[in-house]
Amino acid sequence: FVAHKAVYGLILNSFQELYHKVASLVFNDAEFRKTTLEFYHELKQSCETHDYHRAVACMELNRQRSVSLWSEVLKKLPPNLGE
């Protein structure tokens, strides 16, 4: 960790199980996987061509898409997710 604080690792590790549960819900969704892959391909190409404006536009579009996709994921969360 940049701050060299062991407590950050403890905090992050305490969310590990929850992170894995949420990640499995998210990446089991084909549309979410497709959108994520397209984003990283577009961002990579923007960076390789040093196209700052394209990279910014790509990140903005991804943010908008992510909001929509996450709202759908949140509707499908099992009630016992945090247990």
Cβ atoms of residues 45 and 38 within 8 Å: no
CA atoms of 38 and 56, how far apart (whole Å): 15
Q: What is the dihedral of CA 21, 16, 41, 55, to 10 degrees?
A: 120
Kindly tell me if the per-residue pLDDT of 4 is higher than 80.
no
Residues 15-74: tens digit of each pLDDT? 888 878 888 888 888 888 999 999 999 999 999 999 999 999 999 999 999 888 888 888
pLDDT at 12: 73
pLDDT at 79: 82
pTM for the model: 0.68
